[in-house]
Structures are given as structure tokens and as C-alpha cells.
Amino acid sequence: MLRLALAISLLGCSEWQMKPTFPEQAKGQQVVYEQALLGLSAKGDAAVAQLIDADGAVAELSLLVFDRAGGPSRPVLRAPQTVASAVAQSLRQEGSRPAPLLAALVAADWSEAARKAAELDFHGRPPLVPEPGRRRWSVQGAPQNGSLPFALRLGETSEAAILLLSERPAAALGEDEIELCRMPLAGSAITPELWMENGIVWLLSGSVFGGKRGDALHRAVGLRRGSIARGEAQLHNAHGLADYAAGDLDAARREFDRAIAADPSFVDSLYNAASAAAVVGRVEEAVVFLKRAAAIDTDRVQVLGRHDEDLRALRRRPDVRALLGLRRPAPEDVPPPP
């Protein structure tokens, strides 16, 4: 049960938001969960070493592939038990240090992992170097939008490390920021590391407490995934909604178009583009956007569109009613009672 509870609370590589609190039954016991990025593919997938070590259970050391799109991780190799135990023992000895440790231990004791990653076309590289004296990095947006300059910033609270995207790289950050990913913290934060490939950002972060004066070591260090394209789409979509609320429909439609160009799979920008097109009477264009959005996430489109007054003119169409899950005839088509 301890291993199951630990896996549920800690596993995942991107959007998982739960705080990595340790199971109640783990009090007084050693619990270590750590990941390390061993290499990246040209597409942006990640080869990841993962160690799970808890008192009362056999240590497990595995090589996994994390999907750039946030799909399920794929196991590709498992270390021999002797190797897993040796790596776990070394990590326990140094585990109170607030820094990533697993990558160096795997390189020293499990060289087969690096060879396997290379066979799968994953190649190691150092983490990105931030601007001097800052946890901030410059990045480029979608080529379709002119490769606009953006900035990544790593913020930190007592409960989480948060990676943010801003469209104002030359200004002080704080406004117009979009959260790309976060790592919950439950103790002293470790020194974070960041990698990027093909528009995908991988953040290695986590926390540690205990491990000194005989206290049990509780250590949780893992990877989270963020997409520059999705962040840019969210920024443009937010501007489009502001223009929409202000009555500037032309500006709103331009921003929604930019959001779609950055990330064609972002349902909210597709839906908002449909609403804006419907309001200005571009009916067929609106239906095309609605169909594209529904093909990605039908449920969200139905929630957003079922009572949206901006789509009122479209809801008499049978194809639109089908998209929105409306099985009854439009109210104006129902004959009055005799």
C-alpha cells in the first residue's frame, strides 16, 4: 500500500497538480522518489531515470520515456536489483542535499541506461543557463506568428515551484504571465534545472526534508512538462477575450487567429474564434471552427456552447445542434400547444 500511495501522489511528468504529501503510514520511514533527465529526442520526448525507494519495499530503478504531448510514460528498461539497491543506498546517504542527485548516480552505477537511451535516439545535454542572477530564460514563439520573443520565469512559493511564460521579455515580469507547469513542494526546495527541445520545456524540481539527526528522509524530485506553443496560445487567447469584451471584434479575431496558429489543438481559442465569427455573421467560418474544436474535445465545446448567446444564430442548424449535443428541436421550431 505504501508503494501504491507513493506512486499515486508523486508519479506523473506534466500537469499533475496534487501536492506530494507522503502517506500517513510513511511517518518515520524513509521514502525517496527521484527522476533524472538522461536525454531528449529531436521531437522533445524525454528519456528519464526513475528511482522509488521506501522502507519495507525493494528499491526500483527504471528507464522511462516521457511523451512530449503529455501521454503516458513508457517503460523501456529496468535496472538489476543489485544496481537499484546500490543507487538507492548512495542517494540515501546524500539525500538531504537540496540538489538533483540521481543523474550522477545513474551515470556512475548504471551506464546501461545511457546506452539504451542513445540507442533510442535520446541524447544528453546540460540544462539551460538562465540570465545572470535570475531564474529567467529567453525563448521564441511560433514561427507562424513571427517567432515573437517570450521569457520563461521560475517562481517559487512555500508550496510549489511554478514555470511561467511572459510576452514581455524585456520588462519586469508579473503581469501577462501564463503558467506552463508546476511542481508541488513539501520541504526545502531543491535547485531546479530546465531543458527545452522543439518547443517543449522540461522542469526538474522538487523538495526534501528530514535525513539528518536520525530523521527519516523524505525526498520527492521529478520532471514536469510545459509547452511553449500552448502558453503562447493562452496569452493570445486572453488578449482576444479582452478585445472581445471591449467590443473590438476585429482585434479579437486577430488574437484568436494567432492563438490557433501557435497551437491548433487549443480548444478554447478555436471555440472563441467560432463565437467571434458568428457574431459578425461569418456563419460558415464559425461552423468550421466549431467542428475543429469538437473534434478535439466534444465535451468542452458542448459545455461552452449550449447556452452561449453568441451562437444563438447557429443553433437552428442541425449540424451545429448535433455538435452541441442538443437533441430537441430549436425552441422557435416547436409549434405552440393547441
Is the same domain home to 31 and 138?
yes
Is the same domain home to 182 and 136?
yes
Q: What pLDDT, on a 0 to 100 scale, did the predictor assign at position 210?
A: 83
Helix axes 102-109, 111-119, angle to 10 degrees: 90
**199, 227 contact by CB (below 8 A):** yes
Give residue 329's pLDDT band: very low, low, confident or very high (50, 70, 90).
low
Is the same domain home to 275 and 248?
yes
List of residues 6+ apart from 194 with CB closer than 8 A: 127, 128, 130, 137, 152, 154, 163, 201, 202, 203, 204
Helix (H) or strand (E) holding 144: none
Q: What pLDDT, on a 0 to 100 scale, did the predictor assign at position 228?
A: 96
Residue 205's nearest CA partner among 73, 3, 14, 5 is 14
User: Where among 214, 230, 246 does a domain terminate?
Assistant: 230
Residue 334 lies in a domain: no
Helix axes 283-296, 298-305, angle to 10 degrees: 130
Rounded to the nearest integer, the mean pLDDT of the chain is 86
Distance CA 227, CA 293 (A): 19
- State pLDDT tens for residues 226-262: 999 999 999 999 999 999 999 999 999 999 999 999 9
Which range has the worst mean pLDDT, 3-12, 148-157, 246-255, 298-307? Answer: 3-12
Helix axes 267-279, 249-262, angle to 10 degrees: 150
Is the same domain home to 186 and 44?
yes
Distance CA 273, CA 283 (A): 11
Give residue 336's pLDDT band: very low, low, confident or very high (50, 70, 90).
very low
Is the same domain home to 289 and 190?
no
User: Where among 170, 196, 230 does a domain terminate?
Assistant: 230
- State pLDDT tens for residues 74-129: 999 999 999 999 999 999 999 999 999 999 999 999 999 999 999 999 999 999 99
- State pLDDT tens for residues 188-241: 999 999 999 999 999 999 999 887 776 788 999 999 999 999 999 999 999 999
User: Where among 207, 230, 253 does a domain terminate?
Assistant: 230
**314, 287 contact by CB (below 8 A):** yes
Instruction: Give the chain's count of helices (H) and strands (E).
Output: 10, 12
The total number of structural domains that make up the chain = 2
Residue 337 lies in a domain: no
**227, 180 contact by CB (below 8 A):** yes
Is the same domain home to 204 and 239?
no
Range of the domain at 164: 25-230
Distance CA 329, CA 338 (A): 18
Is the same domain home to 37 and 112?
yes
Residue 105's nearest CA partner among 92, 117, 119, 123 is 92
